[in-house]
A and B are shown apart, each in its own frame.
Chain A
Amino acid sequence: MLAGRARERLGSVGDVSEFRGDVTLTVPREVALDALRLLRDAPEGTPVLTDLTAVDRYPAVPRFEVVYLLTWYAAPARVRVKALVPVDDPAIASATPLWAAANWLEREVYDMFGIRFEGHPHLARILMPDDWEGHPLRKDFPLTEEPVQFIGHTPRTPSQIIPKSPPRP
């Protein structure tokens, strides 16, 4: 119900889709903060920012999706907001003015994907060491095993055990 109203109100801002009952609103990154503010000030009540993360859609263009998951506790309902971010200028407005929870979550996305959040009070690495190079959850960051000193052990990645199959229709 709430999703239906969100669709009505935000249909002009972005593209609304539904999969397995999850409602997703996809918006250009320039209006992401406005869309979030619209949803936060919804007459149904203030949602909570349950999660904020990103997806690397390599080789799609634009490559990154910043994903916000909002939950209305009273209703109860969930809406997912997705903003598309290109790889050559990975930046988006910070949601910290709207929810305090965005602080660490945005730091994690910055750490893992290298997406900058404009207006974030302290955008620094949070999980990886400060001097780490690269952003681990990007698809071009390889997953390898650390070499160990056992004899007869060759490091290998799980991809060599069961290869990725092509997508099925």
Chain B
Amino acid sequence: MANDVAVKASGLTKTYGEGETEVHALIDVSFEIPRGEFVVLQGTSGSGKTTLLNQLGALEAPTSGEVESNGYHLNGLDDDGRTGYRLHSVGFVFQFYNLVPSLTAYENVALIAELTGDDVKDRTEAMLDAVGLADRMNHFPGQMSGGEQQRVSIARGLVKNPPLMLCDEPTGALDTETGIQVLDLLREITDGGDRTIVVVTHNSQISQIANRVIDLKDGAVTDMHINETPLNPQDVAW
């Protein structure tokens, strides 16, 4: 894999169940994502986009095919290897934030910071500051809005400084205005850097802010195109 390629999928297939209940969630999916791009994986419900995201994040193993990500050959990794890959090379952002409710915003971020290096306090505070939550860091998730929780989730993903961020419907549970703020934030963290962001969404508007758009349908890639003039989230007609 060339140095400027962040993620490469080759002949990726994922099948669930067997016999009559067999479902082909991914069928022979292949693509390359260059480093530093904001990529949108889009498709309707059941198109296989979350399954593909899970393959890229080493949350699930493919039935066949290969994934290479930032120097990791995911197929050859055991459970510890995949966990290590996720800890050091991938930041996740989920639709429903998935924060630990018993930890404050600071602690949710610090939980990962503690496992990935020193200067925990500085790194955590800097990250929360970067997502605009410097004054909310001692609040628990239950005391925060959905947008704030999603920003904590982004800070948690970023605190390890991963080369790849995987976001599964990051605005799916948010109102439009808050969604725009979150997309702004995600866009900011790639601009001019090496970090690659893959966003899964069924909202086709989001593709307007991406560098690259991959369309999925029934488990297969139907189109992959480069967006030469990505828009700012505020400029998109939502």
Asked whether A and B interact, the reply is no
Q: Which residues of A come within 8 Å of B, CB atoms?
A: none
Residues of B within 8 A of A (CB): none
